């Protein structure tokens, strides 16, 4: 619509302005003038200009050659090339211009020659007077004087132009036929100043009665020279041209300077008239000869008056023309304005019509849109409502299934753990029941995996996964999973291999998630590869791009090409797959790999190949995605009866057997509590609590390990119990394992905040639990060893320990204060520390592995040793100063510790 408006506007404007160009010249006439300086030529130019101005469609251009033949040539060339419609030439000389004039003529351009002639007939028209007649008239005027022996001086023009030649010819024709007149002298204009004075000096030899100058200027010049010789009264002067105006022919005749002048019209107006006729396709004569006449004292006056009148008329015409021109301009401007206004008026009218139409159609459209909008809004609200209902219902369903899945975990753990116990029963291994138990185990595992996948899917959907990547040897990690599938491969005679080009490849991976990816890709491979087929894992280190590619290739049924781009979509089931599957395994694998900023791709040709690409190093991960103390893999993929040895977690083997250790299990699920009790009581002394008396039990028993469920009976939950125990001096040193079904980031963080040492999610493998207990005890032993060996640093070292450091410091300080008191007792120390004697004993044993009484003794002996080294006190003085009841008892104790008696020790140092 806007386009149409613009087009209309411009069309009308163009129309208006195109009308304003109606005085445009239609024809171009060019005139090349050979001489510029004298009046005769100026009159010729002026006549042309006046004549041209009478014709509105004529555009006249006058070119001045200034007596330069080369300039005149180039002017003609220009007029030809610029497409002038008629060319008028007043030639300087008869020959040099011929070829150019003929060229123009041959091209069809009309050519008019004025005044001087050229040596060619190839032109359209000639305009000029007959110069032979001019010569004759001058001669006849002299002869008409009817005197005898008239002597004449002829002064010719300097060039060889046709007027010079022809005037001379005509003049001589008449003089020669008259016996009374003779031309005694004939000179050229250029020689006048030099020759005329000589001639005047010899007048007594050859007299002169008449001087004939070839134009009025020459005759006037001759008069001036003669006058200067004071002989002017006897000689008469005749010129040619007869122009009106000061110092021109007619005035010179009136003044008596010239006796006569032959009128020689310029032909400027005539030449232009002929040009116009040609342009109007009217017939013109080739030779247009202008009239001449003799002007002397008899008609000079009349001629002058005639010319003055003509000039006056001319002037009036010109001023009229100027006025007309001005009026035309005014008219043209006004007419343009009028047209413009008219145009604008039309545009305005059109716009008004258009606006009315637009308003009408807009109104109509608006109404339609409003109706449509209303419909859409109603529909949208309905859809929104339905979507909301669906969302709520979906959410409820998903929450129900998620909750149910969580609920499934505890019973499955119990089933799995019970089966693990059954499997250890030697008699079972030999009997037929073993296979069925194996079946139960494997299917329970499968069920567990499916539940976990379901929960993982939910977590991925909710974007709740946070990567917990730790530095892992990829080959060892891969080998562990590889081993899990070996038996299946053997059973089905599948060639199953793993290879790598770099054994020492350490990658930051979330072991739990990557375990799931491996498991998924391998169990898929095993599912779709027929017996006797092949499956391989190939690990390629590509250092140039800082990446590792893991290829999982099988010789299975493959994936149809048309479905390749869907394999990672949730709930995808291959069209050629008739085996049951959840359809989320590959989707989860992709999500897990992408959480590692890696990628997974699939190729299918003679089987299927999945390629997992992972980055090396840790630059691609954020700091909160990296952990230095990785979780134990939540779930193993072991089959029943597989030997489980997780190399990753075998590095810290406890040095002592578990016999001496005690564990407090805080669990209100009786089945689980009994199960754990039954399993662990073989190696550990077990205390049980349902949660209601957890704190009391812990303080009372000071166990070596506390295992605590989150949801337990009593007022405190597992986190709070853990936190309370960790901040109590009596129990702060005890490693705490939190067992829970809550597998989410928040619970994990809460567990860490409560000070838990380990966070195990249900269902857990008993083997892993057992191994975790051993590792924690081993770490405790290491810490204890460190404490013992660095006991002297306890008061100074900054990072020695938290509550424990404080505890030991307090003990040391109190012992130091009472070191000389042989009656200082453990009870006294316990009382000072505000704990019971048994608690003090257990705490010391747990931290330093020594009894408190041994510790007091050891502090006394260390002090004694120090006094032996640094003082001259006697041995018995030192014995009493360090709280020994007798010097003998001191000596025996000292020897027991340092293998020397105090006396020997001092003498040696």
Distance in angstroms (rounded) separating the CA atoms of residues 214 and 675: 153
| Residue range at the interface with ligand FRU (CB under 6 A); choices 38-46, 431-439, 588-596, 732-740 | 38-46
Q: Give 135 or 691: the residue with its C-beta nearer to ligand FRU.
A: 135
Number of H helices, E strands in the chain: 28, 24
Q: Please report, as residue ranges, which positions from 459 to 518 form the binding site for ligand FRU (by CB under 6 A).
A: none
Choice between 163 and 883, CB closer to ligand FRU: 163
Which CB sits closer to ligand FRU, 161 or 775? 161
Of 226, 220, 355, 264, nearest to 41 (Cα)?
Answer: 264
CB atoms near residue 193 (< 10 Å): 11
40 lines the binding site for ligand FRU (CB under 6 A): yes
Q: Contacting ligand FRU (CB under 6 A), which of 32, 41, 339, 804?
A: 41
Q: Which of 91, 110, 163, 170 binds ligand FRU (CB under 6 A)?
A: 163
- β-strand partners of 241: 263
Q: Does 115 bind ligand FRU (CB under 6 A)?
A: yes
CB-wise, 139 or 694, nearer to ligand FRU? 139
Q: Which stretch binds ligand FRU (CB under 6 A): 32-40, 200-208, 410-418, 901-909?
A: 32-40
Site string for ligand FRU, 192-211 (x = CB under 6 A): --------------------
- Per CB under 6 A, contacts with ligand FRU among 727-756 are none
Stretch that binds ligand FRU, among 37-45, 53-61, 321-329, 480-488 (CB under 6 A): 37-45
Min separation Cβ 157 and ligand FRU, Å: 6
Q: What share of the chain is helix, strand, coil (3-state, %, to 5)?
A: 55, 15, 30
Residue 116 makes contact with ligand FRU by CB under 6 A: yes
Distance CA 438, CA 639 (A): 8
Q: Cα(10)–Cα(372) distance, rounded to whole angstroms?
A: 38
To the nearest 10 degrees (0 to 180), the angle between helices 300-424 and 39-53 is: 60
Q: Identify which of residues 249 and 718 has a Cβ nearer to ligand FRU in the complex.
A: 249
Nearest to ligand FRU of 237, 518 (CB atom): 237
Closest CB 264 distance from ligand FRU, rounded Å: 5
Compute the distance between CA of residue 316 and CA of residue 310 in angstroms, rounded to an integer: 10
Phi first, then psi: what are they for 27, rounded to 5°? Answer: -120, 145
Task: Mark 647-666 with x for binding to ligand FRU (rule: CB under 6 A) and - for no binding.
Answer: --------------------
Rounded (10°) angle between helices 300-424 and 433-461: 150
Options 183, 240, 303, 514; binder of ligand FRU; rule CB under 6 A? 240
Stretch that binds ligand FRU, among 35-43, 250-258, 479-487, 587-595 (CB under 6 A): 35-43
**Count of residues in contact with ligand FRU, rule CB under 6 A:** 12
Q: Identify the sign of the CA torsion 24, 27, 32, 35.
A: negative
* 159 is a contact residue toward ligand FRU (CB under 6 A): no
- Cα–Cα distance, 632 to 652 (Å, whole number): 14
CA distance linking residue 645 with residue 658, whole number of Å = 19
Under rule CB under 6 A, residue 220 binds ligand FRU: no
Cβ-based nearer residue to ligand FRU, 215 or 452: 215
For position 38 contacting ligand FRU by CB under 6 A, the verdict is yes
Which span (34-42, 305-313, 467-475, 741-749) binds ligand FRU, by CB under 6 A? 34-42
Closest CA to 823 of 736, 894, 883, 892: 883
Closest distance to ligand FRU from the beta carbon of 44 (Å): 9
**Gap between the Cα atoms of 146 and 831, Å rounded:** 182
Beta strand 150-156 with 662-666 is unpaired
Binder among 161, 259, 444, 771 for ligand FRU (CB under 6 A):
161
Shortest Å distance, C-beta 301 to ligand FRU? 23
In whole angstroms, the minimum distance from the beta carbon of 294 to ligand FRU comes to 15
CB-based contacts of 633, cutoff 8 Å, min separation 6 = 511, 512, 515, 646, 768
Q: 347 in helix, strand or coil?
A: helix
In whole angstroms, the minimum distance from the beta carbon of 121 to ligand FRU comes to 20
Q: Output the six-digit token pair for 315.
A: 């002037």
* Least Cβ distance, residue 37 to ligand FRU (angstroms): 8
Q: Which is nearer to ligand FRU, 62 or 346 (CB)?
A: 62
Please say whether the beta carbons of 509 and 477 come within 8 A. yes
Quick one: 565 exposed, middle or buried, by C-beta within 10 A (0-12, 13-18, 19+)?
exposed
Task: Give CA–CA dist 103/123, Å, rounded.
Answer: 10
Distance CA 617, CA 716 (A): 43
Interacting stretch for ligand FRU, rule CB under 6 A, among 10-18, 33-41, 71-79, 468-476? Answer: 33-41
Task: Confirm or reject binding of residue 35 to ligand FRU (CB under 6 A).
Answer: yes
* Identified binder of ligand FRU from the candidate list 45, 133, 154, 241, rule CB under 6 A: 241
At 536, which helix (H) or strand (E)?
Answer: strand 534-542
What tokens appear for 417 in the block?
A: 């753990």
- Residue 290 engages ligand FRU in binding (rule: CB under 6 A): no
Q: Three-class SS of residue 803?
A: helix
Nearer to ligand FRU, 90 or 732 (CB): 90
Q: In whole angstroms, how close is the CB of 91 to ligand FRU at the nearest point?
A: 10
Q: Which is nearer to ligand FRU, 162 or 805 (CB)?
A: 162
User: Does the footprint of ligand FRU cover residue 215 (CB under 6 A)?
Assistant: yes
Nearer to ligand FRU, 42 or 492 (CB): 42
- Taking the complex as a whole, the smallest distance from the CB of residue 115 to ligand FRU amounts, in Å, to 5
- Strand order of the sheet with strand 210-213? 181-188, 150-156, 210-213, 236-241, 260-263, 294-296
Q: Is 170 in the site for ligand FRU (CB under 6 A)?
A: no
CA 589 from chain centre, in angstroms, equals 35
CB 196 to ligand FRU: min, Å: 19
238: alpha, beta or left? (left if phi > 0; alpha if psi -120 to 50): beta
168 near ligand FRU, rule: CB under 6 A = no
Query: Closest distance between ligand FRU and the C-beta of residue 174, in Å?
Result: 19
CA angle centred on 627, ends 798 and 587, rounded to 5°: 170
- Per CB under 6 A, contacts with ligand FRU among 597-626 are none
Which residues does residue 687 pair with via DSSP β-bridges, in sequence order?
664
Residue number, nearest CB to ligand FRU: 215
Asked if residue 89 binds ligand FRU (CB under 6 A), the reply is no
**CB nearer ligand FRU, residue 265 or residue 598:** 265
Give the x-and-dash track for 244-283 against ligand FRU (CB under 6 A): --------------------x-------------------
Please state the closest distance from residue 242 (CB atom) to ligand FRU, in A.
Answer: 10
Contact 85, 56 (CB under 8 A): no
- Cα–Cα distance measured from residue 256 to residue 250, given in angstroms and rounded to the nearest whole number: 10
| Residue 117 makes contact with ligand FRU by CB under 6 A | no
Q: Strand ranges (DSSP E) for 695-743?
A: 705-709, 736-740
| Sheet of strand 608-615, all strands in order from the earlier edge strand to the far edge | 495-500, 534-542, 547-554, 608-615, 599-604
Q: Which window, 36-44, 79-87, 498-506, 761-769, contacts ligand FRU (CB under 6 A)?
A: 36-44
Assign residue 729 a region (left: φ > 0; alpha: ψ between -120 and 50; beta: otherwise).
Answer: alpha
Q: Which residues, in sequence order, are CB contacts of 458 under 8 Å at separation 6+?
A: 398, 402
Peptide bond into 763 cis (omega under 30): yes
Query: Least separation, in Å, of the C-beta of 64 and ligand FRU?
Result: 13
**Contact positions toward ligand FRU, by CB under 6 A?**
35, 38, 40-41, 115-116, 161, 163, 215, 240-241, 264
């Amino acid at each position: 619509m806007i386009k149409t408006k613009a087009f209309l506007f411009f069309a009308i404007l163009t129309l208006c302005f195109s009308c304003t160009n109606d005085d445009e010249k239609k024809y171009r006439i060019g005139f090349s003038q050979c001489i510029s300086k004298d009046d005769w030529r100026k009159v010729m130019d002026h006549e042309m200009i006046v004549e041209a101005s009478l014709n509105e469609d004529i555009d006249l251009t006058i070119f001045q050659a200034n007596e330069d033949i080369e300039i005149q040539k180039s002017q003609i060339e220009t007029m030809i090339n610029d497409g002038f419609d008629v060319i008028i030439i007043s030639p300087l000389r008869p020959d040099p211009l011929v070829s150019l004039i003929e060229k123009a003529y041959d091209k069809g351009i009309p050519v008019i020659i004025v005044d001087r002639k050229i040596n060619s007939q190839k032109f359209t028209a000639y305009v000029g007077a007959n110069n032979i007649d001019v010569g004759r008239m001058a001669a006849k005027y002299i002869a008409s004087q009817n005197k005898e022996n008239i002597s004449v001086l002829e002064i010719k023009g300097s060039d060889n132009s046709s007027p010079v030649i022809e005037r001379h010819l005509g003049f001589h024709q008449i003089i020669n036929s008259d016996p009374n007149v003779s031309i005694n002298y004939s000179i050229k204009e250029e020689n006048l100043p030099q020759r005329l004075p000589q001639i005047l000096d010899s007048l007594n030899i050859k007299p002169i009665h008449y001087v004939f100058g070839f134009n009025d200027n020459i005759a006037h010049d001759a008069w001036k020279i003669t006058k200067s010789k004071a002989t002017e009264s006897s000689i008469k002067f005749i010129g040619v041209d007869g122009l009106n105006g000061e110092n021109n022919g007619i005035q010179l005749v009136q003044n008596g300077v010239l006796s006569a002048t032959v009128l020689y019209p310029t032909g400027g107006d005539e030449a232009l008239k002929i040009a116009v006729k040609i342009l109007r396709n009217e017939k013109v004569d080739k030779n247009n000869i202008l009239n001449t006449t003799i002007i002397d004292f008899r008609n000079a006056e009349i001629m002058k008056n005639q010319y003055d009148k003509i000039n006056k008329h001319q002037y009036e015409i010109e001023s009229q023309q100027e006025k007309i021109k001005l009026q035309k301009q005014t008219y043209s401007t006004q007419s343009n304005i009028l047209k413009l206004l008219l145009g604008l008026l039309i545009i305005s009218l059109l716009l008004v019509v258009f606006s009315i139409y637009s308003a009408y159609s807009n109104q109509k459209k608006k109404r339609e849109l409003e109706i449509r909008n209303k419909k859409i809004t109603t529909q949208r609200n309905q859809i929104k409502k339905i979507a909301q209902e669906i969302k709520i219902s979906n959410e409820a369903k998903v929450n129900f299934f998620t909750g149910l899945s969580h609920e499934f975990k505890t019973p499955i753990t119990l089933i799995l753990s019970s089966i693990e116990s059954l499997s250890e029963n030697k008699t079972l291994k030999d009997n037929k029941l073993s296979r069925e138990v194996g079946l139960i185990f494997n299917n329970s595992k499968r069920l567990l995996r499916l539940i976990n996948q379901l929960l993982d899917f939910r977590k991925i959907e909710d974007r709740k996964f946070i990567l917990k990547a730790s530095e892992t040897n990829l080959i060892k990690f891969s080998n562990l999973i590889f081993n899990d599938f070996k038996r299946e491969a053997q059973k089905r005679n599948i060639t199953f291999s793993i290879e790598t080009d770099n054994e020492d490849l350490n990658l930051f991976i979330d072991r739990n998630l990557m375990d799931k990816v491996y498991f998924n890709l391998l169990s898929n491979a095993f599912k779709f590869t027929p017996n006797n087929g092949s499956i391989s894992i190939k690990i390629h280190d590509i250092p140039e791009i800082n990446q590792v590619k893991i290829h999982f290739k099988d010789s299975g049924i493959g994936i149809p090409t048309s479905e390749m781009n869907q394999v990672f979509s949730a709930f995808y089931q291959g069209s050629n797959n008739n085996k049951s599957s959840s359809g989320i395994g590959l989707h989860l694998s992709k999500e897990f790999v992408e959480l590692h900023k890696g990628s997974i791709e699939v190729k299918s040709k003679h089987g299927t190949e999945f390629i997992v690409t992972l980055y090396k190093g840790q630059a691609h991960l954020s700091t909160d995605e990296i952990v230095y103390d990785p979780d134990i893999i939540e779930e193993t993929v072991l089959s029943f009866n597989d030997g489980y040895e997780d190399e990753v977690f075998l590095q810290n083997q406890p040095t002592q057997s578990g016999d001496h250790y005690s564990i407090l299990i805080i669990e209100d699920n009786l089945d689980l509590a009994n199960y754990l009790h039954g399993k662990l009581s073989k190696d550990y002394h077990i205390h049980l609590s349902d949660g209601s008396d957890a704190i009391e039990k812990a303080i009372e028993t000071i166990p070596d390990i506390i295992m605590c469920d989150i949801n337990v009976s009593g007022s405190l939950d597992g986190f709070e119990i853990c936190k309370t125990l960790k901040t109590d001096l009596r129990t702060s040193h005890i490693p705490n394992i939190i067992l829970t079904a809550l597998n989410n980031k928040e619970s994990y963080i809460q567990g860490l905040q409560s000070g838990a040492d380990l966070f195990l999610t249900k269902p857990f493998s008993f083997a892993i639990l057992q191994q975790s207990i051993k590792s924690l005890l081993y770490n405790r032993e290491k810490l204890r060893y460190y404490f013992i060996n660095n006991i002297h640093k306890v008061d100074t070292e900054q990072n020695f320990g938290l509550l424990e450091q404080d505890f030991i410091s307090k003990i040391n300080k109190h012992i130091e204060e009472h070191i000389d008191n042989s009656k200082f007792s453990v009870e006294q120390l316990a009382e000072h520390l505000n704990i019971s004697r048994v608690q003090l004993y257990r705490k010391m044993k747990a931290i330093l592995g020594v009894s408190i009484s041994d510790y007091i003794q050891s502090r006394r002996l260390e002090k004694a040793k120090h006094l032996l080294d640094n003082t001259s006190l006697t041995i018995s003085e030192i014995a009493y100063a360090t709280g020994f009841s007798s010097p003998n008892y001191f000596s025996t104790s000292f020897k027991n510790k340092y293998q020397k008696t105090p006396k020997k020790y001092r003498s040696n140092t």
